[in-house]
Amino acid sequence: MALLLNLIWIVFGGLLMAVGWFLAGILAAVTIVGLPWAMACFRIANYSLFPFGREAVPRDVLTGREDLGTGPLGLVGNLIWMVFLGIWLAIGHLISALACAITIIGIPFAIVHVRLAGLSLAPIGVEIVDKQVAEAARRSPFRL
């Protein structure tokens, strides 16, 4: 089912936004300082292309401990990201969500675009995992 939804998703703005994430990653990689953001962009470009069956989860939820991306430096990194590129990607996802929400069939895709818009504002410290892994990490008192 996830494969079918992902194929339909590509038509409902997934391909366009994945290209946007990829271009943002290239733009961030051009500057040596932007390499941490570039890696996050490429991971989320893949997620933006095939979102069904996967989920974005903070790394501290998966591992049970903070790291650079989930601590104070991650917050600073996300704020810098939001000012320069994040807001534009979020706007792109919100415009795509509005276009999808016009039809009843597109409402589930609009919801995914809104979720990706939120991720666009704070991509540092997040991992993309299968839904089963995310559910197991949330339930387990021992992190993966």
Q: State pLDDT tens for residues 17-61.
A: 999 999 999 999 999 888 889 999 999 999 999 999 999 998 888
DSSP assignment string, 50-107: S-TTEEEEEHHHHHSS--TTTSHHHHHHHHHHIIIIIHHHHHHHHHHHHHHHTSSTTH
The verdict on residue 144 lying in a domain is no
Number of domains in the chain: 1
The verdict on residue 60 lying in a domain is yes
- The mean pLDDT of 72-88, rounded to a whole number, is 91
Domain that holds residue 129: 2-139
Give, in degrees to the nearest 5, the angle at Cα 23 between 56 and 82: 55
In angstroms, the CA 123 to CA 67 distance is 14
Q: What is the largest CA-CA distance in the chain?
A: 44
Mean pLDDT over the full length of the chain: 89
The verdict on residue 28 lying in a domain is yes
pTM for the model: 0.87
